[in-house]
Amino acid sequence: MAKFLEFQGKEYFKQAGIPVPEGVVVNTAEDAATAAEKIGKPVVVKAQVLAGGRGKAGGIKLAATPDEAKAAASEILGMEIKGLEVKQVLVEEQLAIKQEFYAGLIINSAQEVRGPVLMFSPEGGMDIESVPEDKIATLNVDVIKGLMLHDTLDMVVSMGVTGPPIRGLADVVLKLYNMFRAKDCRALEINPLVLTEEGKVLAADCRMEADDQAVFRHPEFNIKIGREFLKEPTELDLIGWSFEASDFRGTSYIAEMASPEEVKNGGYVGYHGIGGGAAMLGMDAMNKVGLKVADYADTSGNPTASKVYRTVKLIMSQPGIEAYFLSGFMMANQEQWHHAHGIVKALREELPKRPGFPVVLLLCGNKEKESQAILKEGLADLDARVEVYDREHVYDAKFIGGRVKTLVEEYRKDQASA
């Protein structure tokens, strides 16, 4: 899921009309002091990492003066919270908290719900999981009917809130839902939603997660790849993602695993798994025979032939790979002939460029016979070392890995004598 830091989410809160404390995000202790100076009031210095429980981990500190803000920031910057290094802090106007509430939305994918669930609780500031059920008002929102102010007023009142804060809280909860929809969120949470001593209602925290599949609709997110991606995307990664962003039929996941320089040193195969578990088995098989994968690719969920074709073309584009390996260690219930067609088309274009190239294809599951025929007939006339395997070898990773290895060795001999 596309996750956002607190300060990023709060920018969207502002745009959605949800009040937030005045704040500045910085990455040095000096800038934290300057920010505190500018705010001109006591501040709170908050670690910006994609993890909750920062308070308990010491990642949130109150500071009465710019000097204190500087000291707090230098303590927090560089700190590790749940394994994540803190590189930025948010310096924010301190709130005089009268009461902490919770407001949040998630998507409940369960058959009976399949939609957004809105939650409101007067027990803010702690994990919502640890709040007793009778202290949380929940509402399964009908996305067609939408949500009205009277719905959120009812929720707030049902939790025992009285007097003037009712309106401010209900207003924020309604706006939270509207933002959740507008930004295609899977989760959006304010914890705590603060009622101040002066009677104002502000979002003191933000947890925001958007749907990966909707990232392409939100250029403002500035997310290059709509999925959890721990490294900076390479050109190959970005091309791979463009297949996904432009075609939602089935999935294609591609990540570059080795740099072109590494691949040129030898021992790398173009790697194509079908489904996560199958892909792991195949990677293992490669490791065991002393080969490495140049990329990780996974096409599953009944992708179209065109998606598979584009994936194979990209795999084959890595210079220096010594084989193409389709690692279908599973009895897939997707119709495998789409894979067969896509693979044949891509390999018919690519293999003539490299005579004798090793190709090992393991493809099993639904429409297996037809798929096997498409692969065998489609590649028969090519000058390449093509071996096609079916369900007889579906879990025979040792054998399949050995075949890849043997063909790679033969191919190397060809190359050496050429």
Q: Given the rule CB under 6 A, which residues bind ligand GDP?
A: 44, 46, 52-55, 60, 94-95, 97, 100, 125, 191-192, 204-205
Pick the closer one to ligand GDP by CB: 54 or 272: 54
Q: Rounded CA gap, 111 and 108, in Å?
A: 9
Q: Which does 239 bind (CB under 5 to 8 A by kind): Mn ion, ligand GDP, none?
A: none
Question: Using an 8 Å Cβ cutoff, are 324 and 293 in contact?
Answer: no
In terms of CB distance, is 205 or 212 closer to Mn ion? 205
Which is closer to Mn ion, CB of 51 or CB of 157? 51
Nearest-approach distance from CB 25 to ligand GDP, in angstroms:
14
Contact flags string 201-240 toward Mn ion, x per CB under 5 A: ----x-----------------------------------
Other beta carbons within 10 Å of 381: 8
Indicate the residue type of 86: V
Q: Which is nearer to ligand GDP, 197 or 410 (CB)?
A: 197
The answer to whether 375 touches 347, Cβ cutoff 8 Å, is: no
**Closer CB to ligand GDP, 126 or 245, in the complex:** 126
Least Å from the CB of residue 188 to ligand GDP: 14
| Closest separation in Å from C-beta 50 to ligand GDP | 10
Regarding 92 and contact with Mn ion (CB under 5 A), the answer is no
Please identify, using beta-carbon distances, which residue of 103 and 388 lies nearer to Mn ion. Answer: 103
Of ligand GDP, Mn ion, none, which one sits near residue 310, judging by CB under 5 to 8 A according to partner kind?
Answer: none
Q: x/- string (CB under 5 A) for Mn ion, residues 168-197?
A: -----------------------x------
Q: What is the contact surface with Mn ion in residues (CB under 5 A)?
A: 191, 205
